[in-house]
Amino acid sequence: MIRRHLSVGGGSDRRNHGFKTEKGRLVSLKMASGIQCAFYVFILMNATVLISTSAQVVIAAPVLIGDDCTSPKPPDLSDCTIEHAECIGGKCLCIKDYTSSDGRDKCLPERVYGNCTFQRDCELIGNSFCYSGKCLCDNGYVADDDSKHCIPGKLETTCSGKSDCYKIPHSDCTNSTCTCEADYEPAADNAHCIPEKVDGGCTGNDDCKLVFNSVCNSGKCSCDKDYAAADDSKHCIPDRVYGNCTFQRDCELIGNSICYSGKCSCDNGYVADDGSKHCIPEKVNGECIGNDDCELIGNSVCTSGKCSCDKDYVAANDSKHCIPGDYFSFSIIIVYRSDKRKLHRLR
């Protein structure tokens, strides 16, 4: 859009612009604001003008976006001829959803799916390409919330800041690519990150599949009923005796139990406590954490991690109880004899 009208007026008569046509009249009207160039050609011989001629070229200044315009209708008579622009209120302006290019000589689509002719028409949108006359997002990119830009829609896509990655939940811009945050892993679709810890963010139960035995509850992966977070918070493991287990470590919350036939079962010598939450010893010297664990034995306390009989108690024959132990009692009887006479007599 550099030269919209080019007219050449020939001949030596400079008053004659040679504009006879209707179009010529328009150009002539624009001459005040247009760029006017005049050329004079002299062919000299021995300092004598042999032939002289002149030419005048009028390059009408193109009407750019934001410039004044006239003749809004019909469109082919308007001097606001930029595609996707209209002469509105005497100004040449881009229509809705189009924005002026930096050079003001084009109206570029400002929305994904906007009309384009060339690849460069999509430059405002970014990460997009012109396909079938529409600006479409590049592979791995999606339209942002207001459909103005294409931003990463898949992990490992180039980004310049965290805000670029907001279409990929729980990701951050690391090393210029959208990468899952700490404690999150890529989901199968590579378009979001799912938690690998209890209480991580989710939108559906599927997002909680890395956290075994959890469900998505109020946007967080929460342990199912009868399950609780393991020590490392990476899984939910049974918090009840006979809860389902896969590995021995799944029974860590219960203690003194083994994963047997898919259930956390109490070790030999241990039984479920009242709330069925732990396996507690049924014998003296069984492992304990607190005195409560020794409740079945009676008259015992948890000492150095083992149920030991209270002072003055000993383990019963079957080791299941503590019973009062044997004790020696000494009675020292001192008879002070004061009757010397009797003593004497006794002697």
> Which residues here bind ligand NAG, judged by CB under 6 A?
84, 115, 133, 174-175, 226, 244, 317
To ligand NAG, the closest distance from the beta carbon of 218 in angstroms equals: 20
Q: Which is nearer to ligand NAG, 60 or 180 (CB)?
A: 180
Please identify the residue of the shown chain whose CB is closest to the bound ligand NAG: 317
For residues 54 and 115, which CB has a smaller minimum distance to ligand NAG in the complex? 115
**Rounded CA separation 18/327 (Å):** 139
d(CA 326, CA 328): 7
Q: Is the dihedral of CA 121, 124, 126, 132 positive or negative?
A: negative
Residues 163 and 172: their CA atoms lie apart, in Å, by 8
Shortest Å distance, C-beta 319 to ligand NAG = 10
Cα–Cα dist 155/140, whole Å: 8
Beta-carbon contacts of residue 111 (< 8 Å; ≥ 6 apart): 97, 125, 135, 147, 148
Q: In the 8-state DSSP scheme, what is residue 49?
A: E
CB of 24 to ligand NAG, least distance (A): 31
Give whichever of 97 and 138 is closer to ligand NAG, judged by the CB atom: 97
Q: Closer to ligand NAG by CB, 173 or 280: give it.
A: 173
Q: Which is nearer to ligand NAG, 132 or 331 (CB)?
A: 132
Q: What is the smallest separation between the CB atom of 174 and ligand NAG, expressed in angstroms?
A: 5
Closer residue to ligand NAG, CB minimum distance, 5 or 106: 106
State how far the Cα of 51 lies from the Cα of 42, in Å rounded to an integer: 6
* DSSP H or E run through 32: none
Least distance in angstroms from the C-beta of 88 to ligand NAG = 15
CB 242 within 8 A of CB 276: yes
With CA atoms as reference, report the closest residue to 1 among 118, 110, 83, 74. Answer: 83
Shortest distance, position 83 Cβ to ligand NAG, whole Å:
8
Question: Of 323, 287, 278, which is closest to residue 307 (Cα–Cα)?
Answer: 287
